[in-house]
């Protein structure tokens, strides 16, 4: 497994309260740093998973379990570097099985 770093921005929250942070942690977001700035609440994740897609999907599901809505996911270019080999091998595997 690999650790993927990305941010889930919450669409229905403008401030990260202590109660909200606790709800997120209880819902499975304990591998993330919850906070807010400038009227935007978000959770920065360092999530272990088999793929970036799996990491993002599970984080969004955990955010939803806490009663929040994920507005978008932000992934920095440097965080995609580790994901590229996995994506390439997945694409190659699909291509090879098509023939």
Whether 10 is in a domain gets the answer yes
| Cα(76)–Cα(81) distance, integer angstroms | 10
Whether 97 is in a domain gets the answer no
| Cα(34)–Cα(45) distance, integer angstroms | 9
pLDDT digit string, tens, across residues 54-98: 999 999 999 999 999 999 999 988 777 655 554 443 344 444 444
Structural domains in the chain (count): 1
CATH of the domain at 45: 3.30.70
Whether 51 is in a domain gets the answer yes
pLDDT digit string, tens, across residues 32-47: 999 999 999 999 999 9
Which residue range forms the structural domain that includes residue 35? 2-79
Measured from the Cβ of residue 47, the count of other Cβ atoms closer than 10 Å reads: 22
**Could you give the maximum distance between any two Cα atoms of the chain, in Å?**
54
The predicted pLDDT at position 77 comes to: 84
**At residue 40, what are phi and psi to the nearest 5 degrees?**
-125, 125
Nearest C-alpha neighbor of 67 from the set 27, 8, 40: 27
């Amino acid at each position: 497994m690999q650790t993927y770093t990305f941010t889930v921005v919450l669409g229905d929250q403008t401030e990260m309260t202590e109660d909200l942070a606790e709800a997120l942690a209880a819902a499975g977001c304990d591998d993330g740093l919850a906070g807010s700035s400038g009227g935007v609440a978000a959770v920065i994740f360092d999530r272990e998973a088999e793929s970036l897609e799996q990491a993002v999907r599970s984080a969004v599901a955990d955010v939803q379990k806490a009663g929040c809505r994920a507005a978008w996911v932000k992934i920095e270019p440097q965080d995609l570097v580790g994901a590229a080999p996995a994506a390439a091998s997945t694409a190659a595997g699909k291509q090879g099985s098509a023939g």
